[in-house]
Chains A and B, each alone.
Chain A
Amino acid sequence: MDINLTLIGQAIAMAVFVWFCMKYVWPLLLAMIEERQQKIADGLAAADKGNKALEDAQLRIQAMVEEARAQARGILDQAQSRANGIVEEARVAADQERDRIIQSGKAEVDQQINRARDELRGQVAAIAVAGAEKILAREIDARTHQDLLTKLAAQI
């Protein structure tokens, strides 16, 4: 366990080793580690930013959906009112058509009634004349009493 030259040799070796590490190892490794830490920090920051952007986008999407929904509601309302309008118009037109048809029907019926009445009148007059003829036989001349018969027929 003598103290000898080994001590100095070791001291020299250590000085060289420390110098070597200081010059050629430590700065490189530490720089690399720091660079990586920086990259990790950057990555985390970017991820945060991405999350933020995603949140913003979601907010925007929500707003857009809301707007679209409102628009759709507006369009629906419009369509509804348009449909109502069309139905109303149709009803009015149908009413008018119905009235017109009824009117024309009534007119036709009136016409036919008048015609039938005229016919009937003629027939009644003829029947009356025939009856009168039968009753009065030869007493009444059809030609002589034509005026009277016509007046009678008009009164019926």
Chain B
Amino acid sequence: MSEAAHNTAGGYIQHHLTHLQLCRADDQWVWNECHGNFWAVNVDSMVFSLLLALFLGYLFRRIAVTASRDRPGRVQALVELIVDFVDDSVRSTFSGKSRLIAPLALTIFTWVFMMNFMDLIPVDFLPAAVQAPGVADYLRVVPTADVNITFGMSLSVFALVLFYSFRMKGAGGFLAELTMHPLNPKDLGVPLLFWPLVIIFNFVLETVGLLAKPLSLSLRLFGNMYAGELMFILIALLGVYQLPLHFPWAVFHILIITLQAYIFMMLTIVYMSQACEHH
């Protein structure tokens, strides 16, 4: 609670939940006056997610290049553990063959975990660090608590799901899956006259189910992280005496961030597996 301009509790919370945004308005680059502008960029989310991606990419690449078969180091053992875990998860769920799915799952798991992990850094550290020298007024350090980030990932996964559905089943097969399930008029012996009704019913049901995938995928992660961040901000309001609340919540949050990363990865694998599956 160091900000002079936000010395009320509401102001403090509001301040912590405001992104550092950049957009063009009136032919000028402006900061934080971008409400409702689609062409704005949440600079904090982008910077942190990219930094984490670069860190992971560098780490993985270094380990992959220097990996030793007979004398693995600690970091290599950790990376291998993760790779092995992801590989097992993919093998046990995804029956098809795809060179993409396992690296995709690895990327999602590690990246989402690292972005979630930013939540464990005390909420005032990084914002104060950029605020003090006057670099930026606002900073949110947890990219996954930004709905844009989670939607960016889930919609990418969704695009892959659609792509694989088309590729593996063909347009006809995909369409049939959307219209002939869960009620198959042929099997049910419905008179031809009423087929359109059944098909429309199926189509609505399946489309909702299909669209719910990216929506639930992103909103689940976003909701958890946003709520977690909010809890940390509320706890931080206690000032010096926050330890008894902060510590249990932080410990509990370790579980949440891991679990959410795992769920995101696992559901991605499941969706991809459904896309590649033949009926």
Contacts and interface: CB of A to CB of B under 8 A. Distances in A.
Contact of A6 (B42, B64, B83, B87): B42
Contacts of A16: 53
Contacts, number: 126
Interface stretch (B102-110, B188-196, B204-212): B102-110
A4 to B, nearest CB: 4
B12 interface: no
Interface string A128-146: 0000000000000000000
A10 to B, nearest CB: 3
A17 B69 contact: no
A3 B155 CA distance: 13
A13 B53 contact: yes
Interface stretch (A23-31, A71-79, A98-106, A115-123): A23-31
A155 to B, nearest CB: 126
B106 A10 contact: no
Contact of A5 (B38, B69, B70): B38
A3 B53 contact: no
A148 interface: no
A28 B61 CA distance: 9
22 contacts: A2-B34, A2-B38, A4-B23, A4-B39, A5-B39, A5-B41, A6-B42, A6-B46, A6-B148, A7-B148, A7-B149, A14-B107, A18-B107, A21-B106, A21-B107, A24-B61, A28-B67, A30-B83, A32-B67, A32-B69, A33-B80, A35-B69
Interface of B: 21, 23, 34-42, 45-46, 49-50, 53, 56-57, 60-61, 63-65, 67, 69-70, 79-80, 83-84, 87, 99-100, 102-104, 106-107, 111, 143, 146-149, 151-153, 155-156
The 7 closest A-B pairs by CB, nearest first: A10-B152, A6-B148, A28-B64, A22-B103, A21-B103, A26-B103, A25-B60
Given A4-B21, A26-B106, 9 more contacts: A4-B42, A7-B148, A10-B152, A14-B111, A14-B153, A18-B107, A21-B60, A22-B99, A22-B104
